[in-house]
């Protein structure tokens, strides 16, 4: 699936597609969506996101909105008021959360 297709497909389709993707493919989509938002420092953004996810309470329903707010705060000033970025950030937060979970699982599975 192409990155632009991820932005336009229905949420049910998106969820099913993302669950089947390997971490490498999720990473590729994350890089492209971050670039679309004007964020070219993938490693820096992911480090910030991973630290933030580690601090989020797993029981709270607002984890995705907290992540969306974080991503929005990282946007360059000229990109912050773009109206179409909210939809991109919503999808990106879902992809990033899944990517971090898959990477975490890979690390812990390799240790066992």
Summarised one tens digit per residue, pLDDT across range 52-102 is 988 877 666 688 889 999 999 999 988 888 888 999 999 999 999 999 989
Number of domains in the chain: 1
The C-alpha atoms of residue 10 and residue 24 are separated, in whole angstroms, by: 23
pTM of the model: 0.87
Structural domain span for residue 45: 3-111
Closest CA relative to residue 1, chosen from 28, 35, 40: 28
Average pLDDT over residues 42-53: 93
How high is the pLDDT of residue 111? 64
Closest CA relative to residue 16, chosen from 31, 1, 33, 30: 1
């Amino acid at each position: 699936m192409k990155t632009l297709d991820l932005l336009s497909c229905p949420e049910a389709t998106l969820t099913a597609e993302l669950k089947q993707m390997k971490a490498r493919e999720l990473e590729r989509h994350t890089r492209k969506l971050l670039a679309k938002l004007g964020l070219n420092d993938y490693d820096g953004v992911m480090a910030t996101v991973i630290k933030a996810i580690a601090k989020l309470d797993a029981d709270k329903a607002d984890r995705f909105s907290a992540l969306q707010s974080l991503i929005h705060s990282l946007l360059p000033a000229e990109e912050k008021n773009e109206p179409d970025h909210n939809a991109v950030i919503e999808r990106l937060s879902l992809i990033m959360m899944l990517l971090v979970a898959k990477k975490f699982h890979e690390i812990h599975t390799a240790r066992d």
